[in-house]
Structure 1
Amino acid sequence: MLQGMDWRLHPSDDDLLAALERGGPMNVERAVAVMERHSLEGLVLGDPLNVYHLLGHWPQIARTRPGQPPGTFALLARARPEAPALVTSRFLHHYSWADGRDRADVGVWLFNDLGDSGDEAIAPVPDGPVLPTGSSAPLTAAEYHRAQASAALAGVERMARDAGGAIVAAMRGLDLWQGRIGFDSPVVAEVAARHQHPGAMVPADNILREIRLIKSPLEQALMARAARANVDALNAVGHAIRAGATHHELQNLYRQECAVRGNTSVFLNVDRVSSDLSRVKVADGQTLMLDGVSSFLGYHGDFARTVFVGEPSRAARRAAEASAFAWSAVREQLRPGLRFSEIVALGSEAVRKAGYEAVIGFGPHSVGLAHTDEPGEVHGGFWRKPDFVLEPGMIISVDCPTLDTGIGGSAHCEDLVLITETGAEPIHPLYEPVIVV
């Protein structure tokens, strides 16, 4: 696992890709501490997001089959976090995992077929080509790398008949066949039950989000890269706005601006409207908020600003000032030990004392592999946000939108900050709170 990378040095995309080839972005030290807190011996993960978080490998086939049970799995043992494991088909190991990486630290268990027949027999990995090999031309660089990765496993006792047998073998190999094991997919629990796993199987979705709260240095670098591109994309949209532009057109422009910068658009909220179907037109003299989220290699940027299209109404101008003031006042107070509820109270009190009449909604949330990336407390089967305490290594946003209507538009101000040992540090450049066109 690669942990040493300083986001402030602005590593290149090549540096970030190389880092992911050598290790997953997960904060492993944090993972061990969280597993210990929940008395877990290890994790068996099938959700592609969690496989990527642990191993830096996003199972490609899973992207084309949403909703289907996983076929690639990642395992982590609390006692040996430096040696994670991968379970995947022999074909996908050759065709997908081998591309661009050479990971001696990852134990690999292979299978031929999806399913679980109950067969736990393990055989040597076959010696020979996984795909048909011709002789008319030399292997390409990608083909050669795949062949080398497959050859390195030939003869190793890591080949199961099917996925269930491979999961069981990997759990035994990592000494995870006893005790409490966290899982994220029902298929993992079904395999464990079918093979009479003697320990407890614990749903770990919330536990995994707890791990993700504190970012590793690599995660911080990925977040900073995503955030910078997202800021530039939203600013480009803001400066391009003119009266007559529809919400749908602006959302399309945001997608294009994100793509040019290597990000993938998630959503753009225009004047408090998130629907992709909105064809409402921007009016001259309107004040409107832009709130954009996009991702880079799975990690998200989140940024919001206010746009004046022509001369704003007095109420809208004051609302934009209040939103910017609110975020500035809160940002100066962020520090370890502060609760989310205290952030809301501090911001509300600052706005009141400054004499603003605008109603500002304060919404602190963690950002990472999801736009709102934090564990919840279970309430009637649903999750709701607990009153988190800020810790060093968190990356958070505090939404500060105006909630008033009938003032000539809307306003918002939002940046991403890293919680440090003594305060908070923006992970992207700060810009003026209002874009004037």
Structure 2
Amino acid sequence: MMDDNESGISRRQALVGGAGLAAASACLPAAAAKASEHASASADALSVSPPDLDFLRTDALMDADRLRFLMREAGLDALIVTQPANVFYLTNHWPQLDRMGFDGSGIAILCADPARPLTVVMHAFLYYYTHTPESEFSDREIFTYTNPIGAPEVEGEEPPSAEARVMEVADGGTLTSLDRHRLLMFGRTQPPSADATWAMRKALHSLGVWQGRVGIDHLGLEAGLRARGFEGDITSQGQDIVRTARLTKSPTEIRMMRLASERNVAAAITAARSARELGSARALRSAFFGEAGRRGNAGVFMVIAGTSTEALDREFTDGMSVSIDCVSTCRFYHGDFGRTIFIGEPPRTVQRAASAVSTAWSEIREQLRPGMRFSEIPRIGRATLDRLGVDLNVSFRPHSVGLFHTDQPATSLLTPAAPPDLVLQENMTLSVDCPVFLAGLGGTIHLEDLMLIRDGRAEAIHDVPPPVITV
């Protein structure tokens, strides 16, 4: 007979000592049995249709006061960004060509001086065709560019630029409201420059920061500025400053996070309810992506039974415990949600482990509050497992969620450094990953909800289904 250690399950785990856990485990099947009913009600309550995002044409995502405060702390006169997520945060526009494989198709400039306008540098036709339909903002300065034609009259000066191009008008009497809006917004732009670098030069001169200290988020910006004789200091702090600003969400961002998360959860639950009929990991992932799409979200990834690759498939059989970690976006804002699917009745060790993780996550949720450090959160989860007498490897890893699954400073693996021990703040949205990293347990387990720190405590930003879905 194989002993406990050979099976990969410790004696403490197999026996699951502790009266508290025994009671919780006894309740788990009954709670899980209600999951399908609860999930059905949750999914049906949310209209299966894309959300109305028209408010993004008028309501800024950026918390300009917070971002300017961080800029002043860093000694910056201006922030120049071209990474698409950062441009989107500042302007509500995700540059279209960046979604098609190009680089630097939009540039946004914010000055520390609030009297200076938010400034956008963009190709003239791209601004006219892709940006104006989703913007009614009139408080921005738009510096456009086209391309150089011929040589400059004086060496080192800007060459002449091509005329800005817009759609020709066949009949002015039949213009649509969108046609008229495009022309109205485009009529407010500055005359085109010969290229993006000349447009940046003009913008920085206009803003009075040509000799100032600027933060950038892309090395290409520095090359372009230096090529045009920029006379100030350049620092690469821009990326971390914007990501730090995004740790706490503006009211518009919180609205977006709710939309993204509600639809992500509904798609995940709807797909999970069909896991038995779908019969495999590949079919379940496809169902989740499809359900997300029906609700206006775009699937990003789905981890099923510990793997996120679409190249690997796995058949579902009776008695399996299958963890899911579901991520999709609504207009680039991320939903992140994890649960466990019981296909029939898995081994008792798995049921007990799932119950323990559920108890630990409940205790973490109750203690999340402003001022708590990220490093404190895993300790709460581990202390709960210790009290329950359960030997499980669970990360209990927190991460800020927003325009990325992990939307926080210092995320690059190219410059290894200890991650910052972030502090929970009002209006932060975060997740705490609770996967069980234990091979040979008899199944996989995960639990994850998206939380909003508000009014001195944490609240789920979406409806909270039971921890286990039994099919």
Shared fold (TM-score greater than 0.5)?
A: yes
SS of the counterpart of 1:340?
coil
Q: Which residue of 1 aligns with 2:317?
A: 283
Structure 2 matches for 1:336-355, cutoff 5 A?
336-355=370-389
- More moved, 317-326 vs 75-84: 75-84
Report the CA distance between 1:251 and its aligned residue: 0.9
Q: Which residue of 1 aligns with 2:35?
A: none
Task: Verify: 1:51 aligned to 2:84, yes or no.
Answer: no
Report the CA distance between 1:411 and its aligned residue: 0.9
Q: Which residue of 2 aligns with 1:229?
A: 263
- More moved, 226-235 vs 35-44: 35-44
Q: Percent identity?
A: 33
Report the TM-score when normalising by structure 2: 0.83
Report the CA distance between 1:277 and its aligned residue: 1.1
**Matched residue type, 2:129:** Y
Specify whether residues 243 and 406 from structure 1 end up closer, same or farther in structure 2 by C-alpha distance, changes over 3 A only: farther
1:335 to 365, 369, 380: 369
SS of the counterpart of 2:276?
coil
Specify whether residues 224 and 114 from structure 1 end up closer, same or farther in structure 2 by C-alpha distance, changes over 3 A only: farther
**Matched residue type, 1:399:** D
Q: Which residue of 2 aligns with 1:194?
A: 227
1:34 to 66, 70, 80: 70
Q: Which residue of 2 aligns with 1:326?
A: 360
**Matched residue type, 1:312:** P
User: Aligned pair count?
Assistant: 420
Specify whether residues 234 and 200 from structure 1 end up closer, same or farther in structure 2 by C-alpha distance, changes over 3 A only: same
d(CA) in 2 for partners of 1:232 and 1:379? Answer: 33
SS of the counterpart of 2:469?
strand
**Matched residue type, 2:88:** Y
Report the CA distance between 1:383 and its aligned residue: 4.9
Structure 2 contact 278–284 (Cα < 8 Å) conserved: no
d(CA) in 2 for partners of 1:114 and 1:350? Answer: 66
Q: Which residue of 1 aligns with 2:217?
A: 184
More helix by percentage: 2
Task: Verify: 1:294 aligned to 2:328, yes or no.
Answer: yes
Structure 2 contact 323–446 (Cα < 8 Å) conserved: yes
d(CA) in 1 for partners of 2:116 and 2:279? Answer: 53
Q: Which residue of 2 aligns with 1:143?
A: 179
SS of the counterpart of 1:290?
strand
RMSD of aligned residue pairs (Cα, Å): 2.7
d(CA) in 1 for partners of 2:138 and 2:80? Answer: 20
2:343 to 297, 309, 312: 309
d(CA) in 2 for partners of 1:107 and 1:383? Answer: 38
Report the CA distance between 1:134 and its aligned residue: 2.4
Structure 2 matches for 1:111-190, cutoff 5 A?
111-113=145-147, 119-120=157-158, 130-135=166-171, 138-153=174-189, 158-190=191-223
Task: Verify: 1:85 aligned to 2:103, yes or no.
Answer: no
d(CA) in 2 for partners of 1:336 and 1:370? Answer: 22
d(CA) in 2 for partners of 1:49 and 1:114? Answer: 29
Compare CA radii of gyration and give the structure with the larger one: 2
Structure 1 contact 121–165 (Cα < 8 Å) conserved: no
Specify whether residues 254 and 214 from structure 1 end up closer, same or farther in structure 2 by C-alpha distance, changes over 3 A only: same
Task: Verify: 1:61 aligned to 2:82, yes or no.
Answer: no
d(CA) in 2 for partners of 1:261 and 1:243? Answer: 22
Specify whether residues 96 and 200 from structure 1 end up closer, same or farther in structure 2 by C-alpha distance, changes over 3 A only: same
d(CA) in 2 for partners of 1:133 and 1:122? Answer: 26
Structure 2 contact 97–103 (Cα < 8 Å) conserved: no
SS of the counterpart of 2:367?
coil
d(CA) in 2 for partners of 1:137 and 1:383? Answer: 61
* Offset from partner CA, 1:34-93 (integer Å, 9 cap, x none): 11121111111112211111010111122112xx33122111011027720111122122
Report the CA distance between 1:152 and its aligned residue: 3.8
Task: Verify: 1:396 aligned to 2:424, yes or no.
Answer: no
Specify whether residues 35 and 129 from structure 1 end up closer, same or farther in structure 2 by C-alpha distance, changes over 3 A only: closer
Specify whether residues 177 and 14 from structure 1 end up closer, same or farther in structure 2 by C-alpha distance, changes over 3 A only: farther
d(CA) in 1 for partners of 2:148 and 2:314? Answer: 49
d(CA) in 2 for partners of 1:24 and 1:434? Answer: 38
Task: Verify: 1:17 aligned to 2:50, yes or no.
Answer: no
Report the CA distance between 1:243 and its aligned residue: 7.1
Task: Verify: 1:435 aligned to 2:463, yes or no.
Answer: no
Specify whether residues 244 and 430 from structure 1 end up closer, same or farther in structure 2 by C-alpha distance, changes over 3 A only: closer
Report the CA distance between 1:96 and its aligned residue: 1.7
Structure 1 contact 23–55 (Cα < 8 Å) conserved: no
Report the CA distance between 1:328 and its aligned residue: 0.6
d(CA) in 2 for partners of 1:114 and 1:241? Answer: 58
SS of the counterpart of 1:435?
strand
Runs of 4+ in 1 over 4 A off after TM superposition: 12-16, 114-118, 120-123, 377-380
Report the CA distance between 1:401 and its aligned residue: 1.2
SS of the counterpart of 1:147?
helix
SS of the counterpart of 1:187?
helix
Report the TM-score when normalising by structure 1: 0.89
**Matched residue type, 1:371:** H
Q: Which residue of 1 aligns with 2:404?
A: 370
Specify every segment of 5 or more residues in structure 1 that has no aligned partner in the other structure, as ranges: 1-9
Report the CA distance between 1:366 and its aligned residue: 0.4
Higher relative contact order (CA 8 A, sep 6+): 2
d(CA) in 2 for partners of 1:15 and 1:265? Answer: 16
d(CA) in 2 for partners of 1:15 and 1:283? Answer: 36
SS of the counterpart of 1:305?
strand
